[in-house]
Amino acid sequence: MNPPTAALAASALYGFASWRLARARGGPPSRLPVIAGLVAMALHLLVHALAYREDGVLPLHFFPALSVVALGMAMLSTAVAWNRRFEALGSLVYPLAALCLLVYVLAPQPAQPTVLAWPLQVHAWIALLAYATLAVAAALAVLLWWQDRLLRARRLDHPLLAHLPPLTELESLLFRTLAAGFLLLTLALALGAVFVENLLAQHLAHKTVLSVLSWCIFGALLVGRIRYGWRGRRAIRLTLAAMALLLLAFFGSKFVLEMLLGRT
């Protein structure tokens, strides 16, 4: 199977899974959309495996990195919600994964992929996994905000509420995901500090500053949760603010450098 065919099949399965999740009407969660999502993720992974086999290097340009993060989000979303109400999160993440995969396959790729030493490849993979984990946390924060608004407005018949776990369980899931993402981000920053050379010459200073600022906000939120019981709207605002900085740090900088300035 070639990458375009695998990408189209994966996108169709992502779309089917999202459609079935959106149509769920209470009761025990159906395994059919989850199975469709798992097959879609396997095909999504196959696309990147084929690209790696052909080029022999880890693709870290804008569109491949975006697709890898979206794949990680799909995998983590399925894992964290395996025994919970999954419909809202899956309906949000699966279409995003399909879109990022299609854009990656259809977009023109650089003629010469970037070759990295193995320590930097490890750093890059951990960083992408951290971005995916924290992006799932941001999606959970959005769902938590929406759920809180509906409950405050006493709109208990809204379909979204049937597709989510109870508020306290969703909030607990948010902080567990944040903790995992924070640990991965800490490890990625530590490896980057050790192995990345000539930070300013590689146009990475702004990326590092924004990443560290995001790391500080995530860390402050987790400390505030443990020591002061931070929750609710404060947790949602800080999560989304930190994730916005992280997106600017990686994908914002890559978009400017690669798409606008033509640099790698």
Q: What are the tens digits of pLDDT across the range 134-184? A: 999 999 999 999 998 888 888 877 777 777 888 888 899 899 999 999 999
Comparing CA positions, the residue from 128, 137, 249 lying closest to residue 185 is 128
Domain hosting 105: range is: 1-115
Assess whether 129 and 71 both reside in one domain: no
| pLDDT over 70, % of the chain | 83
Looking at the fold, whether 248 and 147 belong to one and the same domain comes out as: yes
Residue 201, pLDDT score:
52
- CA dist 24 and 166 (Å) reads 17
Residue 210: per-residue pLDDT: 86
pLDDT at 245: 92
Identify the three-state secondary structure at position 108.
coil
pLDDT of amino acid 181: 95
What domain count does the chain have? 2
Contacts of 24 (CB under 8 A, 6+ apart): 30, 33, 87, 162, 163
If one compares 3 and 76, the residue with the highest pLDDT of the two is 76
Model confidence band, residue 131 (pLDDT cutoffs 50, 70, 90): very high
Q: What is the pLDDT of residues 219-256, one digit of tens each?
A: 999 999 999 988 889 999 999 999 999 988 877 766 66
The highest-confidence range among 19-33, 207-221, 242-256, by mean pLDDT, is: 207-221
Are 95 and 144 contained in the same domain? Answer: no
| Residue 250, pLDDT score | 79
Q: Does one domain contain both 108 and 124?
A: no
Give this prediction's pTM.
0.89
Longest CA–CA span in the chain (Å) reads 57
How high is the pLDDT of residue 110?
62
State which of 115, 145, 160 marks the end of a domain. 115
Indicate whether 150 and 74 sit together in one domain: no
Same domain, yes or no: 85 and 64? yes
**Same domain, residue pair 127 and 109:** no
pLDDT of 76 above 80: yes
